[in-house]
Structure formats: C-alpha cells, structure tokens
Structure 1
C-alpha cells in the first residue's frame, strides 16, 4: 500500500476514534455543552472532564511522538511557528465561542450529529460555512 493511502487511512481512523469519543462521552448532545455553560443553574461538569482527558492525552502524545525524528507518513513534523495574537485570531475565537455557546455545537460534534439533523444543527452548520467564507475576506499575515 502506498504511503499516501496509509496516511489517508490513518486520518480516517483518527476521525473515527474522535467521533466515537464524542458520541460515547455525550458531547454530540448540545444540552451537555449548554449545561456546562450554565454555571448559575443546573451546571453539568461533564465537558470539563472530557476536555481534561483530551489535554492529558495530547500532552503525553506530543511528548512521545516528538521524540521521533520524523512522522510515520511524512518527511518532517508540521508544527505552528507563529506565537502572536492578532485581531483575526481573537475575532475568530470570539465568534467561535459565541456560536458554541448559542448552539451547543462546535464543528466536531456538529459533524458527528449530522445523522440526526435538526433545525438548530442546520442553523449552526449554515453559520459555520458562512463564517468560512467571511474569514476569507480578512487577509492572513504570513
């Protein structure tokens, strides 16, 4: 099997594991996210544990993977080099947070929930696609 096919297969497997993790943890249910944000009401801490597990897993995984000289299916690791915060990043993060808080969906759980399409999910997906096109109107720094 060619390296390109193995890389694609690895991507699909990673996506499947991610989607299964979202479904098993209940993060495809927007009520969970909205319950987490409702700190003055019926607060649901589930999201905090899911995010904490992701942070710990990433922390350990990066340490292990970056010990290698190169990735399994590439010539070199492609890590971000920019460390500055600009208006485009802050604005995008703000819009993402507002959308997540209003809908209870972020892109991963939204995609994983497409099989049970609802009105709020359609609205979120339309807004997300519109955001992609809007983001192209603001030039990125090199």
Structure 2
C-alpha cells in the first residue's frame, strides 16, 4: 500500500513541476539569468512551495508519527564539510548549466525536453559515483514519536 501512496504522491509532485514550468529548462535558465532575459515567474512557484512546506510541516509534527510509518526518518548529520559544500556546488553547476535539478528532470522525461536524455544519465552516473565514495550517502535515523517538534 505504501508503494501506491508513493506513486500517487510522486505523480502529483511531477504534475506540479510540469504545470509550474520547472520541467522546462529554458524557463529555469531564464530565471537564473538575472542580468539578461530574467523571468521572475518561478519566484511564485518557490514562494508557494515554501508556504505549503511551512504549513505542512506544522501539521505533520502535531501528529507524532507519519500516517504510513512507525516513525519519522530524518537525517542526523548536521556538520558542514567539504563533501557537502562540493556536492552543493556540483548541484548548482548542473542546475545552472542544464536547467534541471533531479525532480524536474524526471518529470520532463516523458515530455522529451531538450537535454533530458543527456542530463538524466549524467545525473545517475553522478549519484552512483557519489554513493560509491567513502562514507556513502548521508546518515539517517528514525525519529521517535512525539518528539516535541
């Protein structure tokens, strides 16, 4: 049943990315080009996402446990190290060059947006390379119910 809910949530998220224009690399690149053909319309997308996330987290934390799990699974690492800074820089470079970040790239795949068929394999190769490096991906732990957040 959790897989079905994951599929539904992923579909709704992807649909939102397509409708908002985040799956169009030209629109994203125009948003990032503040000295040229700047398109500020994605500010409204980000603002709506921040408000939804802010309200959503407040409602979810009041529950104590998630609907479909026994505990929240949150990252425990809080240190800023070279891997984090380097990964963030690579993410930003990829976003600025390709006009995609991972979610919109997957959402644009069925649309065959220009560059998608190059960006996705490169992203997957980067994920594999990053996961195979010493230390793996981040540390996560289950958060006990009623944590007071």
Q: 1:119, CA displacement in angstroms?
A: 5.4
Is the CA contact (8 Å cut-off) linking 2:23 and 2:104 kept in structure 1? yes
User: Are residues 36 and 70 of structure 1, via their aligned partners in 2, closer, same or farther at CA, if it must alter by over 3 Å?
Assistant: same
Which residue of the partner structure matches residue 114 of structure 1? 109
Q: Provide the C-alpha distance between the structure 2 equivalents of 1:70 and 1:60, rounded to a whole number of angstroms.
A: 17
TM-score (norm 2): 0.84
TM-score computed with the length of structure 1 as normaliser = 0.88
* Cα distance, 1:17 vs structure 2: 1.0
2:45, 2:95 → 1: CA distance? 16
Partner residue in 2 for 1:22: 17
State the shift of 1:118 in Å. 5.1
Misfit runs of 4+, over 6 Å: none
Kindly indicate whether structure 1 or structure 2 has the higher relative contact order, using CA contacts under 8 Å at least 6 residues apart: 2
Match of 2:74 in 1: 79
Structure 1 unaligned blocks of 5 or more: none
What is the match of residue 95 of structure 1?
A: 90
CA contact (8 A) 1:36 1:45 kept: yes
The alignment's C-alpha RMSD in Å is 1.6
Structure whose residues are more often strand by fraction = 2
Q: In the TM superposition, what are the counterparts of 1:1-142 in structure 2 within 5 Å?
A: 5=1, 7-117=2-112, 120-140=115-135
2:53 match: secondary structure: helix
**3-state SS, counterpart of residue 67 of structure 1:** helix
